[in-house]
Amino acid sequence: MQTENGNLRLAVQKSGRLTENSLNLLKNCNLDIEKFNDRLVVNIKNYKLDLLFLRDDDIPEYVQDGVAELGIVGEDVIKETKSDVKIIKKLGFGKCSLRIAIPENAELKNLSDLNGKRIATSFPNILKDFLSNNKIEAKVVNISGSVEAAPSLGIADYICDLVSTGNTLKLNKLKASINVLESEAVLIKNKDLKLNLDKYKIYLNLLARIESVLNAKNSKYLMMNVPHDSLEEVLKLIPSLKSPTVLPLADKNILAVHAVIPSEKFWEIVDYLKSAGASGILLLSIENIVL
Ligand code: ATP
Ligand code: ZN
């Protein structure tokens, strides 16, 4: 299918919800990805990596069979296809949950209320496992698309589908109920990965780059000026990943304080920093963090 050029192969979704985030992650790893249009295989110009653009449902199997050594895909698809691959890392995007949804005016008090119901889904394997683990006898109606229309068409009583905002459910007069599975995009690899030394080095380097991008995404670089007398109080407020850097300035009464902090903490502490005397507060994005 592709030429044997010694490059590592990574399968990504060709066009869908995971495509943009997958490619952005790789671009942030400093990989030069050109427009792929309709090509199946695309070489990365500045790295010994080929991207395979596939339907997401095919990715776990391609990785399991070793056609690609690595892949980026939703955990839901791995479970549904029952593929034997190794999850290396959660990637923090494509978060969604597989939920049983029921008509707005219906009620589900207990799991056992599912007994005897017809549930439409495009995840028959996950749903069947869930039902049998919970000793529920319900009919699984396998539908490949527009599952949410099934109850109004009279094909099923309930549905089991991926939900993130719940807007699609609302449009179809449905509401989310029981949670069957939480999912997000993950990096996977072939279980019996046997790489020659060159490929193995690229593999380790790619993992390190991905790790550093993921670390950086959740962190920000905080800089501010702090009067000498307030230093102790300010340092206590900073939820720093490592010990903050404190630097003298030309004005002997003021110090510069720098720290890497979790992004979501900034707005929690900024007012406290100001009242403790910090000024000239800057918050900067970080491209990479190598721990
Ligand atoms: P393909 O044509 O490649 O088979 P698809 O239509 O099956 O695409 P998408 O809808 O693009 O797949 O979803 C891909 C993945 O994105 C899902 O497997 C899931 O992990 C995640 N996902 C699905 N729905 C949502 C959602 N509503 N919000 C966030 N992530 C989602
Ligand atoms: Zn799919």
Per residue in 102-158, pLDDT tens? Answer: 999 999 999 999 999 999 999 999 999 999 999 999 999 999 989 999 999 999 999
Same domain as 160, residue 26: no
The pair of structure tokens assigned to 7 is 């490059």
Residues with CB under 6 A from ligand 1: 13, 16-18, 55-57, 74, 76-77, 94, 96, 162, 164, 183
**Are 90 and 195 members of one domain?**
yes
Atom 17 of ligand 1: nearest residue by CA position:
74
CA 255 to chain centre: 39
Residue 23 lies in domain: 8-94+185-216
Cα 84 to Cα 14, 33, 55, 96, 236: the distances in Å are 22, 29, 18, 22, 47
Token pair listed for 138: 């319900």
Domain end residue (candidates: 172, 195, 216): 216
Ligand nearest to the CA of 145: 1
Write down the pTM of the prediction. Answer: 0.88
| Rounded Cα–Cα distance for residues 44 and 7 (Å) | 9
Q: Are 159 and 57 in a shared domain? A: no
Flag whether 102 is in a domain: no
Q: Using one digit for the tens of pLDDT, what is the confidence trace for 144-201?
A: 989 999 999 999 999 999 998 888 899 999 999 999 999 999 999 999 989 999 999 9
Which of 13, 20, 56 best tests ligand 1's pocket when mutated (most atoms within 8 Å of CB)?
56
Whole-angstrom distance, CA of residue 97 vs CA of residue 289: 30
**Number of domains into which the chain is organized:** 3
Residues 86 and 191 in one domain: yes
Distance CA 245, CA 18 (A): 38
In angstroms, the CA 261 to CA 238 distance is 7
Q: Is 71 exposed, middle or buried (0-12, 13-18, 19+ CB in 10 A)?
A: buried
Q: Please tell me the residue having the least CA distance from ligand 1 atom 2.
A: 55
Q: Is residue 249 part of a domain?
A: yes
CATH number assigned to the domain comprising residue 132? 3.40.190.10
Same domain, 179 and 189: no
Q: Are residues 161 and 191 in the same domain?
A: no
For residue 42, what are the CA distances in angstroms to 5, 63, 89, 95, 117? 12, 17, 23, 27, 46
